[in-house]
Structure 1
Amino acid sequence: MALRTARNLAYCLNSIRNYSTNGPLVNVTVNEKSGFATVTLQNPPVNSMNLELLTEISHTLQQLEKNKCRGLILTSASNKVFSAGIDIFELHKPNSDRISQTWSFVQEIWIRLYGSAYPTVAVINGHATAGGCLLTLASEYRIMLNKFTIGLNETQVGLTPPTWLIDAMKNTIGGKQTEFALTAGTLFETEEALKIGLVDEVAQSKHDAIEKAEKFLNKFKRIPPHARSITKAKLRGANIQALVRNKDKEVKGYVDFITDPQFQDTVGKYIELVKQKSSK
């Protein structure tokens, strides 16, 4: 058994080395002693989730699952922003096929990360808004640095979060807090997020956060991976299956909503506001 485990780990490490250098938007490194993979988003300046970044994230998660790696730490190359979510420019005057692919990849990423067989930690070393918060909610454990914000602020730009994401937030912080957070599009400061359970720990630096993440992952060192993954699947499976059943319908609804003239007017005004703030 030990020899088989060692062989699987060696295969995983070699496979990751082979593909991780190919994608400029996602970097993968592996701790050869522990077998934990650190996946770093590097789409400056704010890790906006355009189609290209989403494609690389999905491919990375697929390879990690395929090669049976032992744990994931998800973080950002930026020291200010974990991820600002879906690229707002993807939503303005979009190509229907491209926006359809974009949301399909969001769904795939959620399914792979939320339902991964291996344990997962989000090291939130910057602001995590909208889709950035989505990635952290899909993880099992969240460690956040001070003086940043996190939350699903979709309503501020006229969007609504999908049901499966709402359910995940309910499971994390409870129904009452979720209703308040989502209807107001609230962004929580680090200490506020810790207080309501949106994050599990606060770290003083990224190095400190990585150490805490490894400590969390090491809790499962002596737990049989098969038993752990089955238990996780039982806990999260219903939410995943609900998404799987409605994937195509949801994509169509998303495209219809994004291309609606009223939403296009809202997002156009929002972009102009952002440009005005940037120019000052």
Structure 2
Amino acid sequence: MLDILLHDGDIHEIRMARGPVNALDIGLVEALREAIVGAPANGARGIVLSGAQGMFSAGVDVPALLQRDRAGVRDFWNAFFALCGALATSPVPTVAAITGHSPAGGAVISLFCDYRVMAHGVYKIGLNEVQVGLSVPEPIQFAMRRILGGYRTERLLVAGAMVDAEQAHAIGLVDELATVEQVVTRATLWLADLMKLPPKAMLRTREIARADLVAVWGDTSNLLDPGFIDDFFAEETQGVLLALVARLKAKH
């Protein structure tokens, strides 16, 4: 489900390896959180989060989520929020090595990293939740506003828009583009340059700069709006999600 690779300079790469598309079920979400929380204790001075070439993560495993009852759905989203919180509060810098397409949950995870390197070309990224009948909770909107500003975030989220890598770079949703083969390399080089700086000064400045994110995401235990769970089970959302699953099955 996860591969942990070590790079020079105490950089740990956490690579999602849940075939075929790194769909986020509760097992992968919890494994990611545990790996991110545990990496610094295992000597990591920086973390790269990556996926398969061509697909960073296809987002939430909708077929699996639809099989869960209300308590199970709530448990999944609380686990997902805890994963985002672990990235937000990581004591070491993190980079999302976006190795391909990154819709919905994949894009959300990247928002909490310090830096985002994406494969250029045909790949797309975006929070397309509205397209599949889901609203975007305020804490996630906050994380995106922090990067893109209020108006651009509103336009993208309300439309459920997916943008290609070049547009994502132009608007600041990702920081750097590379060939799909070089995304992880560029991510590790960015971290390596950061680690050449005086560590106490760099980490303290980073802590100050990310204090607004930590203020919202430092404790995720009560961050999930119960209304979001109600919306998930609403007739409109269930209908759209079931239709999505039917289309996915028809392709295979």
**TM-score normalised by the chain length of structure 2:** 0.91
Alignment RMSD: 2.0
The yes-or-no answer on 1:260 pairing with 2:237 is no
- Residues 124 and 145 of structure 1 are in contact (CA less than 8 Å); yes or no, is this contact kept in structure 2? yes
1:65 aligned to which of 19, 32, 40 = 40
Cα shift readout 1:17-73 (whole Å, capped 9, x = no counterpart):
xxxxxxxx1111112x41100110011111110011111101101111334521111
Corresponding residue for residue 156 of structure 1: 131
Corresponding residue for residue 2 of structure 2: 26
Gaps of 5+ in 1: 1-24
Amino acid across the alignment from 1:27:
D
- Residues 113 and 138 of structure 1 are in contact (CA less than 8 Å); yes or no, is this contact kept in structure 2? yes
SS in 2 for 1:250: coil
Q: 2 CA distance for matches of 1:99 and 1:68?
A: 34
Amino acid across the alignment from 1:148:
Y
Cα shift readout 1:107-149 (whole Å, capped 9, x = no counterpart):
1111111221111111111100101001111111111112200
Gaps of 5+ in 2: none
**TM-score normalised by the chain length of structure 1:** 0.82
Cα shift readout 1:174-204 (whole Å, capped 9, x = no counterpart):
2222111111111111111111111111112
Q: 1 CA distance for matches of 2:67 and 2:30?
A: 21
Corresponding residue for residue 98 of structure 1: 72
1:241 Cα offset (Å) = 2.8
Structure 1 residue runs of 4 or more that deviate by more than 6 Å after TM superposition: none
Amino acid across the alignment from 1:142:
R
The yes-or-no answer on 1:199 pairing with 2:202 is no
Aligned sequence identity (%): 28
1:249 Cα offset (Å) = 5.7
Name whichever of 233-242 and 65-74 sits farther off. 233-242
1:210 Cα offset (Å) = 2.4
- Residues 137 and 169 of structure 1 are in contact (CA less than 8 Å); yes or no, is this contact kept in structure 2? yes
- Residues 91 and 258 of structure 1 are in contact (CA less than 8 Å); yes or no, is this contact kept in structure 2? no
1:101 Cα offset (Å) = 1.8
The yes-or-no answer on 1:120 pairing with 2:130 is no
- Residues 54 and 180 of structure 2 are in contact (CA less than 8 Å); yes or no, is this contact kept in structure 1? no
The yes-or-no answer on 1:54 pairing with 2:29 is yes
Q: 2 CA distance for matches of 1:45 and 1:269?
A: 20
Q: 1 CA distance for matches of 2:217 and 2:227?
A: 13
- Residues 30 and 79 of structure 2 are in contact (CA less than 8 Å); yes or no, is this contact kept in structure 1? yes
Specify whether residues 245 and 137 from structure 1 end up closer, same or farther in structure 2 by C-alpha distance, changes over 3 A only: closer
Specify whether residues 72 and 246 from structure 1 end up closer, same or farther in structure 2 by C-alpha distance, changes over 3 A only: closer
- Residues 78 and 220 of structure 2 are in contact (CA less than 8 Å); yes or no, is this contact kept in structure 1? no
Amino acid across the alignment from 1:202:
L
Higher relative contact order at CA 8 Å, sep ≥6: structure 1 or structure 2? Answer: 2
The yes-or-no answer on 1:143 pairing with 2:132 is no
Corresponding residue for residue 131 of structure 1: 105
The count of corresponding residues between Structure 1 and Structure 2 is: 251
Amino acid across the alignment from 1:47:
N
- Residues 135 and 228 of structure 2 are in contact (CA less than 8 Å); yes or no, is this contact kept in structure 1? no
Amino acid across the alignment from 2:211:
G
SS in 1 for 2:40: helix
Corresponding residue for residue 197 of structure 2: 223
